[in-house]
Amino acid sequence: MSNVGTAGATAPAPRPGRGAPTAATAPASSAVWRPTSQPSAQEVATAEAAGTPTPQAWRRGSLARGLRKLTAAGVLACSINGLAAYAVVTTDAARVQSVAATQAAEIGAVTSTIDTLGTTAKVTPVGAAKEKAYLTTVSEASSRLASVTARAATGPAGLAEDTVALQGLSADYTRYVALLESGRAATGKVAADRYGQAETLRTTRLDPALAELQRQNTDRSTEAKTLAWVTMGGLGLTSLVTLLTLLGGSRWLASRTKRVVNPGLFGALVMSAAVSGYAFSQLGSATIVAPGAGPLLLVGGLAAAGLVWLGLDQRLKEYR
């Protein structure tokens, strides 16, 4: 007797079709089953139309955000690096510190020499055995004053204001030596009078002027040394940050876009290296910084920033 149509009969199980879950593959929970294969183009278009981000769209958006951040970081780093190079060259602190320290030492030596000339002149009359040594000392002090005056006139900005005082000091020194020579050639009251005039000139004009010039140059050297450390440290830091930003950005971009070299980042790296290199080369240079070098370095930093923006903006357009 057939059991078809009876209450206890069971319908035959449907044959598994293509893409339908089987007993072995169907999830045990009540969650809706989804295929594990890549979505088709139609499914992607449908998801995008519905506002649902697809993996491809999410990756494009992530890359675009990364490019914007890299652009901002690169532009900022290159611009600040150019500004730091501008500060190093325009302040010229390292050279000011070196020249001012030399000036202070030379002026101190002149002061010591002048302070002993009066005493030496009194015991070294014309034709004495030690006259040659005395005249050599007079000549050395004169040469030192001339050297200090020339260095102030041709040295870094800020030291030129000493030129007038040094020229007046040289004239007073010439008068001082002339009075000593007059005393050496005379005797008695005339000699004593000449030595007295020379001593008055030394104590009222030469020593105060020399002490003031030495103090000014010592202060300049101290202040410039601090400023030099600040500007050099700032340039070193900005150069390092710029280098890491551009190299790191190039590597990140190459790994994401499969393009080894980005012309904009490479050009910015070369330009920034040139800006920093020139600024550092001026620290130990004995020559005066060329006029316009500071603004030129600032323009170089801004040009590097422009190259970063151009190079990354071109890539960003591909992922908008």
pLDDT value of position 52: 55
Cα gap 312→209, rounded to integer Å: 61
Reported as a single tens digit per residue, the pLDDT across 255-306 is 877 777 788 899 999 999 999 998 888 775 555 666 778 899 999 999 999 9
Domain coordinates in residue numbering, the chain: 63-91+228-317, 95-221
Higher local confidence (pLDDT), 235 or 51? 235
Residue 154 confidence (pLDDT): 84
How far is it, in rounded angstroms, from Cα 166 to Cα 213? Answer: 8
Whether the per-residue pLDDT at 6 is higher than 50: the answer is no
Six-digit token string for 203 = 């104590």
> Mind listing the pLDDT tens digit for each residue in 174-215?
999 999 999 988 888 999 999 999 999 999 999 999 999 999
85 and 295 Cβ atoms separated by less than 8 Å:
no
Range 218-249 burial, b when 16+ CB lie within 10 A, else e: bebbeebbebbeebbebbeebbebbbebbeeb
User: What mean pLDDT value characterizes the chain?
Assistant: 81
Task: Map tokens 């410039």 to a residue.
Answer: 224
- pTM beyond 0.75: no
